[in-house]
Structures are given as structure tokens and as C-alpha cells.
Amino acid sequence: MRILLVDDSSPHRRLLGALLGRAGHEVLTAADGVAALALLEQEPVDAVVSDVRMPRMDGFQLCRTIRQDARWRRLPFIFYSSIFTGTPARELGEDLGATAYLDAKDVEPSRVAREVEALVARHVRAEYGETLVRLLDDVEFARRYHQVVLTALAAGGSDDLRDVVAASARALDDVVARLDAQRRALEHDTERQVEKAELRLLRELGEFLGDRINNPLAIILTSAQLLEIKQPSEGTRNAAELIADAVSRINGVVREIAQRSDDGTDLATPDPLPRSPA
């Protein structure tokens, strides 16, 4: 895991950096919030561990700025302070969107790595569950959208187009079933740890859905050939091919997620999902 450690004290940075590194993590450091933001612009990280009192931009300001940026809105942000530890400080941290607020008097430096690992694991699992629910809703929308197209095509359109949309609808049925099984399994196994690669796949799949399923369907539905002409135009044929390719790829990714989570193996970095042409 790549951890950004933000603290204006050089001794603290060296101590925590060494302990986190000894636990197997890659540690990037910044002396204040301004330096941390500049580093985030250049380097991807898995979590931020920040002190509160710092020059130029303190921890509260840093957390607020990070949460206001869509790129880092879901990035785990953990306060680690020995001074600002009272209830008002904790409540402010929570209201700003911090993942956790650790009191350095209660959590010794030697325990920070374990605490951060546990907090990030819980965060990833929670986000995975939320993403899964959103994906189910999106895929169910696409599946029902296909059914609407099939009903419309029953009155006209080419056999090839009907076959493509029907095959995609069946594939989406399978996607819905697999994603729902994942959701139920996650709810049942409360101890299951979700790998970041699984979450990455779901995020990419969510972006892909709107890009390559709904848009081609809109092209078909707004085409005059749909109900009035037997032979679809070249544009309609291309849209049908996009649907078939997209659903096939989606089904493959969901199958991979299900298989990997069932056998407990880590997910390799997947091939990127193709993007639709501009």
C-alpha cells in the first residue's frame, strides 16, 4: 500500500515512515498540506495519514480540500495527532469526511501500521459494497432497456438486430445474477476482506456501463429505421455491435470478479475496458 504521511516534524516523519515501511508499505512524505496536495497531483496513493498542526495548510484544511476534489473524495484519510484529540477536534474531523481520527496517546507509533491497514481494509470493503449496489442498479436499468428495445423490434427491424439485442439481454441477465450473488455473499461474510483490485474493477465497470451500453441503445431507439424500415442503417448496425461487444466484456469482467472472490486469489491488474469512440 502507498501511504502519504503528512507531518511538519521531521523526527515524526522519519519514525512513522520507518515503521510503516517495515510493515511492507511504500511511504511518501510531506511537511504540510500544501506539499501534500502538490504530491497528490503527481503520485497515486492508497491512504493519507496526517497530523493536524502544520504550517501553511494544517490537517483540517488538507482534509477539507481533499474531500472537495472528486479525484480524492473516497481516498482514506486518517488523522494521527497527540494534541488535537478532544471531542470538538474529532467531530470536526468526522464532519470533514475523515476516515478515522487516531489519538497518538492511545495508539503508539508501533501500532500505527496495523491500525491504518485495518481502517483502509474496512474502507475498501464499504466502498466495494456501495459500488456493487450502484452497479446492480445500472445493469438492471440496461437489462430492462434491452427488453424495451426487443419489444419495439417485434414490430419491425431486421432479424440480425433483434438477435444481437436479445443475446445482449440474456448476457445482462447473467450479469445481474452474478452481481447480486456478490452482494449477498458480501452481506453474509462480514469478515471477508476485499482486495483493492476488485474495487478497481468495479469502479471501471461502472464508468464503462454508461459509456458503452446506454448510449448505443439511445442511438437505436432514436433511429427511424427501428420501426419503419426493415434493414437497419450502417449506424444502427454499428450501435448493435457496440452493445454486443460491451455486454460481452462486462460479462467477462463480472465473471472474473466472482471467480477471484470465490477462490480467494488476488486479482491481477485487468486489461483496460475499451472506450467508445468520440
161: exposed, middle or buried (Cβ count in 10 Å: 0-12, 13-18, 19+): buried
* 43-66 confidence digits (pLDDT tens): 999 999 999 999 999 999 999 999
CATH 3.30.10, domain 124-263, yes or no: no
Count the neighbouring beta carbons within 10 Å of the beta carbon of residue 122.
15
Chain-centroid distance, C-alpha 116: 19
Query: Which pLDDT value is given to residue 21?
Result: 94
pLDDT at site 225: 41
- Please tell me the chain's helix, strand, coil percentages from 3-state DSSP, rounded to the nearest 5: 65, 10, 30
Write out the CATH class of domain 2-107. alpha beta
Q: What is the pTM of this model?
A: 0.69
pLDDT given at position 51: 94
For the chain, count helices (H), then strands (E): 10, 5
Residues comprising the chain, all counted: 278
Give the domain ranges of the chain.
2-107, 124-263
SS (H, E, C) 75-101: CCEEEEECCCCCHHHHHHHHHHCCCEE
pLDDT (tens digit per residue) in 8-41? 999 999 999 999 999 999 999 999 999 999 999 9
| Cβ within 8 Å of residue 48, ≥6 positions away | 3, 4, 6, 36, 62, 66, 75, 76, 77, 78
28 φ, ψ (degrees, to nearest 5) = -110, 145
Query: What's the CA dihedral at 65, 71, 72, 75 to 10 degrees?
Result: 170
Inter-residue contact 251 to 174 (CB < 8 Å) = yes
Identify the pLDDT of residue 22: 93
Which residues 6+ apart lie within 8 Å of 264 measured at CB? none
pLDDT at site 243: 55
Instruction: Write down the pLDDT at residue 275.
Output: 43
Question: Which residue shows C-alpha cell 486518517?
Answer: 78
Q: In this predicted structure, what is the pLDDT of residue 255?
A: 64
Residue 222: predicted pLDDT: 43
* Tens-level pLDDT at each residue, the chain (278 residues): 999 999 999 999 999 999 999 999 999 999 999 999 999 999 999 999 999 999 999 999 999 999 999 999 999 999 998 887 788 888 999 999 999 999 888 888 888 999 999 999 999 888 888 888 888 887 787 778 777 777 766 665 566 667 767 777 777 777 788 788 888 888 888 778 887 777 877 777 777 665 555 544 554 444 434 434 334 445 445 555 555 566 666 666 666 656 655 665 544 444 444 444 33
Of the candidates 124, 120, 79, 123, the residue with the CA atom closest to the CA atom of residue 98: 79
pLDDT score for 41: 95
